Amino acid sequence: MTTPYDWISKSLNTIHQANWYRTPKTITSSPGPIVELEGRSLINFASNDYLGLAGHPHLIEAAITATQKYGTGSTGSRLLSGHRDIHRQLELAIANLKQTEDAIVFSSGYLANLGTITALVGQRDLILSDQYNHSSLKNGAKLSNATIIHYNHCDLSDLHHKLQQYRHQYRHCLIITDTIFSMDGDICQVSEVLDLAESMNCMLLVDEAHATGIMGKKGAGCVDYFGCTGRSLIQMGTLSKAIGSLGGYVAGNAVLIDFLRNRSATWIYTTALSPADTAAAIAAIELIQTEPQRRDKLWENVNFLQQKLSHLNILPSQSPIICLECANPSQALELSQKLIIAGIFAPAIRPPTVPTSRIRFSVMATHETAHLQQLINNLVLRNIGNV
């Protein structure tokens, strides 16, 4: 007997055979530089909590207070019964951090990208997309029904060439790119891409998921770091990385944000962010703006580690995301396992997430020198990083 579902286990077998199979690992402690993972205490290089805010007492207290006042759920979409004063406070806090006219919060960064791209472009339009963009940008582009052309990673002359070739055939054009690339750690030259977008009459959407809170003097992100604050573009990001909560946002001109409130399906037809997540994000943005020492410490850690690992097979990075290249998926898995035995938690990132396998280390402000040194000892002195 065959069933219509038989192909699923076959497909899963293929995933196993390619060493692409993945399962979640259970952490049983609070977030931080040391975590409890499946009974072991490990130094954590797997977290996006760059500033160490996810376990900060201010955020926890804000989440508890908001839960006591508003309950656990928002009970409806923003346009029906889900809108609270704290949602608006959070949007104004984001607009203030980004120095934009307004901002809108979504239930996740993934939904922010899907909802924004599909609202901005359609069948008669063109999307130019960096080949290494995050899944949420790529799937947002697909869902929009616009024509999608990929340009070579961070290659401005390729982007320019493709715009010259195709731009005139379409109505609107949207360029989409990560600012800090999530699985590589390198950075898009935002001001140059923006100049090009302006000169070719294109909109630009930048994904600041990994840059918000850590780049720029006040943690506003790469747009600010590259001196583009105040120029017209669309900035999206997440509340779940350096901001230590959950949710996504888009920041930009008031007209853009007003349009998204009326046209973005992933905002209109989904339940508003929970009170706890909302309040925690407000508390985090306040800390980001008033306590720059966390950002300073993060960059001190990043520079130290970058320097000590520079002779290994490290991908070019200007961020807390540091990747050690591996020859193939099984080697990446093996190295990740060796690191766990040595007391270090860092994930193997494999296809289809990325074209080539690697171990991804993310640095946090809360890492102590001894934590970084233990990683260096294992990769360099014990030589297990020489792959």
Ligand X SMILES: *Cc1c(COP(=O)(O)O)cnc(C)c1O
- Footprint of ligand X on this chain (CB under 6 A)? 108-110, 113, 134, 136, 178, 182, 207, 209-210, 238, 240, 248
Q: How far apart are CB 133 and ligand X at their closest, in Å?
A: 8
CA-based nearest residue to 43, from 261, 277, 228, 305: 305
Pick the closer one to ligand X by CB: 52 or 140.
Answer: 140
Pick the closer one to ligand X by CB: 273 or 302.
Answer: 273
Q: How far apart are CB 256 and ligand X at their closest, in Å?
A: 19
Pick the closer one to ligand X by CB: 134 or 218.
Answer: 134
Pick the closer one to ligand X by CB: 241 or 371.
Answer: 241
Burial class (CB in 10 A: 0-12, 13-18, 19+), 5: exposed
CA-based nearest residue to 93, from 102, 84, 81, 106: 102
Q: How far apart are CB 210 and ligand X at their closest, in Å?
A: 6
Residue 319 in tokens: 């961020």
Q: How far apart are CB 245 and ligand X at their closest, in Å?
A: 9
Residue 17 in tokens: 């055979």
Pick the closer one to ligand X by CB: 52 or 109.
Answer: 109
Local structure of 19: helix, strand or coil:
coil
State how far the Cα of 229 lies from the Cα of 100, in Å rounded to an integer.
Answer: 8
> Which helix H or strand E contains 112, and what residues bound it?
helix 109-120
State how far the Cα of 278 lies from the Cα of 61, in Å rounded to an integer.
Answer: 12
Q: How far apart are CB 150 and ligand X at their closest, in Å?
A: 16
Residue 362 in tokens: 């993310």
Q: How far apart are CB 135 and ligand X at their closest, in Å?
A: 8
Report how far apart, in Å, the C-alpha atoms of 41 and of each of 45, 54, 344 are: 13, 19, 9
Q: How far apart are CB 288 and ligand X at their closest, in Å?
A: 17
Pick the closer one to ligand X by CB: 239 or 365.
Answer: 239
> What's at 242, amino acid-wise?
A
The residues facing 250 across adjacent strands are 104, 236
Pick the closer one to ligand X by CB: 176 or 287.
Answer: 176
Nearest residue to ligand X, by Cβ distance, number only: 109
Q: How far apart are CB 6 and ligand X at their closest, in Å?
A: 33
Residue 309 in tokens: 């690992």
State how far the Cα of 127 lies from the Cα of 71, in Å rounded to an integer.
Answer: 41
Pick the closer one to ligand X by CB: 54 or 376.
Answer: 54
Work out the angle between the directed axes of helices 57-70 and 275-290 (0-180°, nearest 10): 150
The residues facing 248 across adjacent strands are 106, 238
Question: What does residue 21 show for φ and ψ, rounded to 5 degrees?
Answer: -70, 140
Q: How far apart are CB 207 and ligand X at their closest, in Å?
A: 5
State how far the Cα of 353 lies from the Cα of 337, in Å rounded to an integer.
Answer: 19
Pick the closer one to ligand X by CB: 363 or 387.
Answer: 363
Local structure of 206: helix, strand or coil:
strand
